[in-house]
Amino acid sequence: MHCGPSLPFLWAMNVTVGGRPRHYRTVTFDRCANTVCLIDQRLLPHRLALVRTQDFKQTAAAIREMIVRGAPAIAATAAYGLAQGSLAFRGSDWRRFARHVETVMRTLAAARPTAVDPLNAMRQVRAAMRAGRTVAEQQALAVAAAEEFANQSVSECEAIGRHGAGLIRDGMRILTHCNAGWLACVDIGTATAPLYMAQQQGRKFHVFCDETRPRAQGASLTAWELAQQGIAHQVIADSAAGHLMQRGEIDLVLVGSDRTLGRTGEVANKIGTYTKAVLAHRHGIPFYVALPLSTFDWELASGLDIPIEERDPAEVLGAWGVVAEPGSDRPLRRPGRRVYVRVANPTSGARNPGFDITPPELVTGLITPVGIFKPTDLWRCRERLGWRG
């Protein structure tokens, strides 16, 4: 079931398949077939399946339809998609090739506009391509740069784990929101990286996974990851977090980010993150954001300028799940077909913003590959955090 190369890192994530642990990356690239290979995250936790996209338009559709999701994962997917689109060009005309590459970039960047990582990743690939003197050289450089970005993303997640693990003490109860694990990255994860490192260091703790309506990434993806890793956890309704905080049952909140403004420290993340930050602030609970360097936006000056994706209202009005196979009374052990179930009143509409903005005064710290920073320190430390002017 592997698709493309998989570079082993110190503590890459494994999935138990047929009783054996097996290493997967969320996204890889097959240079010979010019295909991007993705774990289909819509099917988890009930089925692990891989999808190959045959061209850059299919790759953009996979991002848009959330076959792959999570800012670092879609960044690597966009980088590979740019390489894929570049390789598909036939001919040696420099100007036609440049126009083609711009079309590929625009298509991939438009797939999910809130996260800045895909744009940053493609800019990195495009900058590397400029060293090529021919179309063929630029195509080869695109593939190499995309692989470099993916490998660097994994290295950054490892570093986030090392810096963040010290925040986790024995017996802690930790709240997560959405999925910022290895499924949201190429490997290891951002908000989960400190958990995995702390587990390796022998600490015992308990994780509460917000279900994260409307797509339930916490209930389906984060909980699946933690179960695979053997970390104690429970899924809670999004609205239960305040109750647990009020009763002293949460000690730390760890979330990811889809875009963090380096000028202001504002954090864009999955809808509901702002609510958790307000609750944590009210109850004096540390609230940390874990993110790779590609998630920083050094250009925008206000969170109000971040494009907030409005998704299909059907996500709010119903839910996807699996039904039992005929004759089975154990649907979780023998899942059948995947179905959509309408939950809301048949004549009602819905609003479905995918993200919200958490102001810097509600963020205790940002866990990055180069250390933990206060939101107010980002601009002063911008060169350490990847700013290039």
Residues recognised as catalytic: 258
3-state per-residue secondary structure call for 218-235: HHHHHHHHHHHHCCCEEE
> What region does 59 belong to: left with phi over 0, alpha with psi -120 to 50, or beta?
alpha
CA 117 to chain centroid, in Å, comes to 10
Q: What are phi and psi of 45, to 5 degrees?
A: -90, 5
Q: How many contiguous H segments (helices) and E segments (strands) does the chain have? A: 11, 18
Whose tokens are 């966009």? That residue is: 78
Alpha carbon distance 335, 167 (integer Å): 38
Q: Coil, helix or strand for 267?
A: strand
> Helices 117-129 and 71-88 sit at what angle, rounded to 10 degrees?
40
CB 214 within 8 A of CB 240: no
CB 256 within 8 A of CB 291: yes
Q: How far is CA 376 from CA 263, 363, 372, 373, 379, in A?
A: 8, 10, 12, 8, 7
CB 339 within 8 A of CB 145: no
CB 73 within 8 A of CB 139: no
Q: Coil, helix or strand for 29?
A: strand
Q: What is the torsional sign of CA 186, 110, 108, 52?
A: positive
Closest by CA position to 290, among listed 253, 252, 256? 256
Q: What is the torsional sign of CA 166, 151, 354, 314?
A: negative
